[in-house]
Amino acid sequence: MLKGMNSFSERLEDKLAYLKAGRGEGIGPTSRVLSNVNILVITYLLVTLIKTHFYLPAILILLLGFTRFSLLSFIGFLIYFVFIHYWTGVSIMALLGIVGWMSAWAGMNNIKKNLHNNKAKVDPFEGMTELLFITIFQIIFLILALIASGFLIVVFGILFAIVTLFEMSRYYYRLSSPWRQLHYPLMARYAFFVGLQAGIAEKAEKKFDINATLIEFVKNIYPDWTQEEVESFLKSVAKKMEKFTDREDLVNAFKKDNFSLNTGKLNKVLDRFHESFKIENPRWVIAEIVERDYGKDEKIKYLQSIVTGRSNVKNNPLPLAFIIGLNTHRRK
């Protein structure tokens, strides 16, 4: 009976994961990146088919490739290309299948993993609307490079490479450290709730309530939490913020990076940081979320990034001139 229950639970988990994957929800960065690669492979396939006068297969792949019949169409055309000995098409279809399978596997795996933890429901690419335009330019330049001739092939190839490198830099910017995967999308999300609550306050002719904003913000990040859990979380954050419980760890982290830092100057900087960011509640909330998801060390790295300005926080309390004024001799 227990085995049957486990089997039912696994089937239910697979069903939930499949539904979420179909909506592109919670598939994770790896799956998203691979999906983008697959779009480029499909583009390459379509252009290759048109150049070799396989117009009907190109049209059918374009019509069916992004529907629920995509798998059947993929198998059908793979068999067809093998049957007519069109090995270029077979090779591209094989690559398309491998990348597609890897993307689907990564997405399903990420969704299932998140079903069993209480991590923040955050997409690292949230708020990155530029990725859509980057993909469009990639497709355009790839098509032009494939259909051009002579020197134009080089020109469009270079343009495609430049756009791709820029895209990779944007991926790196969001994915290079765990705190980045939370900070940037959560700040974008917080800005949305600030605007929403400001509109509500203006309509009701009331003062903007940052506490109400933070409550809605946290509810959105942890949709399964009760009101009491959300309020308890925010109270804990407020206490840590008031007492600056991370000061000692921050000092140790800075000293570890640069053993010759003047401790007195550093403490003055941290005092200014603390006073300045007492009103910047979202950063402290995000710092606590970073700690819940990735541990204390990652939280300290995040707070360091705020102090030094690496997280692009406006009105940073540690000016660049002051940073330069510190003894910057670093350990080898």
Q: Which two tokens stand for residue 214?
A: 């933070």
Per-residue pLDDT at 323: 42
pLDDT digits (tens, 9 = 90+) for 188-204: 899 999 998 888 888 88
Per-residue pLDDT at 314: 44
pLDDT digits (tens, 9 = 90+) for 310-320: 776 444 444 43
Q: Quote the CA–CA distance of 219 and 227 in Å, as a whole number.
A: 8
Per-residue pLDDT at 49: 93
Measure Cα distances from 115 to 4, 71, 103 in Å.
20, 26, 19
pLDDT digits (tens, 9 = 90+) for 144-187: 999 999 999 999 999 999 999 999 998 988 888 899 999 989 99
Report the percent of the chain where pLDDT is more than 70.
84
Q: For the chain, what are the domain ranges? A: 2-176, 180-325
Q: Of the ranges 86-90, 134-138, 177-181, 263-267, which one carries the lowest mean pLDDT score?
A: 263-267
Of residues 117 and 97, the one with the higher pLDDT is 97
pLDDT digits (tens, 9 = 90+) for 35-47: 999 999 999 999 9
Per-residue pLDDT at 2: 46
What's the pTM? 0.76
Q: Which two tokens stand for residue 213?
A: 């904003």
Q: Provide the pLDDT confidence category of residue 327 given band limits of 50, 70 and 90.
A: very low
Angle between helices 55-64 and 70-83 (to 10 degrees): 160
Give CA torsion, residues 228, 233, 239, 241, to 10 deg: -150
Report the percent of the chain where pLDDT is more than 90.
36
